[in-house]
C-alpha cells in the first residue's frame, strides 16, 4: 500500500511539473498575443467619422449597369490612377454569354464632362479568366481633364452604350 501512495505522489508531482513547464514555455509566446491585442485596439480606436467617409468614398467609386444579360460593375481606382492614367476595375457577370469574347479596350471610350477624348489609349488586362464571371483592369493613358470622368462601353451584349461617370474630386 505504501508503494501505491509513493507512485501516486510521484505521478501527481509529474503532472504538476508538466503543467508548470507548459505554462512557463507559453510565457514566451505571450508577447505575440500582447502585440496583436495592441494592434486590434489601435484599429478599433480609429476615428469613426474617417471610417464612414472612407466607406462613402469607396461606394461612390463603384458604378453598376445591369442592362441585358451581362451585369457590369466598374470601379475607378484612384490610388492607382494618376493625372496621365486612369485605372478601372471591371467585373462582368452573366450565365448566358461568353465574356471572354469582349475586348474592352476596343469597346471603351472616355470623355471629360461633355467633351469626348480621342487622344488616349485603352489597355485591357484580364485578371480572372472565367467566361461567365470576368474581372480585369481597364487602363486609359492620356491627359486627365478637370471635368467629370465618363467611361462608355459600346456594344457589350447588344446594349448600345453603357455609361459610368465619376466626379473628378475622387482622384487625389
pTM of the model as a whole: 0.67
Q: What percentage of the chain exceeds 90 in pLDDT?
A: 48
Residue 34 reports pLDDT greater than 70: no
pLDDT at position 45 is 55
Span of 44-58, 91-105, 136-150 with lowest mean pLDDT: 44-58
pLDDT at position 33 is 46
d(CA 152, CA 137): 15
* Rg of the chain on CA atoms, in Å: 29
Closest to 131 measured CA to CA, from 90, 102, 152? 102
Q: What are phi and psi of 57, to 5 degrees?
A: -60, -45
Residue 35 reports pLDDT greater than 60: no
pLDDT tens-place string over residues 57-71: 667 899 999 999 999
Residue 46 reports pLDDT greater than 80: no
Q: Give me the residue label for grid cell 486609359.
A: 140
Closest to 120 measured CA to CA, from 163, 86, 167, 156? 86
Amino acid at each position: 500500500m505504501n508503494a501505491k501512495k509513493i507512485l501516486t505522489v510521484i505521478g501527481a508531482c509529474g503532472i504538476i511539473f508538466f503543467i508548470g513547464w507548459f505554462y512557463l514555455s507559453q510565457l514566451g509566446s505571450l508577447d505575440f498575443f500582447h502585440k496583436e491585442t495592441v494592434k486590434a485596439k489601435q484599429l478599433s480606436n480609429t476615428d469613426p467619422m474617417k471610417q464612414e467617409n472612407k466607406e462613402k468614398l469607396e461606394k461612390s467609386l463603384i458604378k453598376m449597369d445591369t442592362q441585358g444579360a451581362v451585369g457590369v460593375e466598374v470601379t475607378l481606382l484612384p490610388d492607382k490612377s494618376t493625372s496621365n492614367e486612369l485605372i478601372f476595375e471591371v467585373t462582368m457577370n452573366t450565365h448566358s454569354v461568353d465574356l471572354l469574347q469582349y475586348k474592352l479596350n476596343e469597346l471603351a471610350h472616355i470623355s471629360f464632362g461633355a467633351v469626348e477624348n480621342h487622344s488616349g489609349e485603352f489597355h485591357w488586362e484580364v485578371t480572372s479568366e472565367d467566361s461567365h464571371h470576368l474581372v480585369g483592369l481597364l487602363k486609359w493613358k492620356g491627359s486627365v481633364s478637370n471635368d467629370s470622368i465618363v467611361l462608355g462601353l459600346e456594344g457589350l451584349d447588344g446594349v448600345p452604350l453603357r455609361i459610368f461617370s465619376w466626379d473628378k474630386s475622387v482622384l487625389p
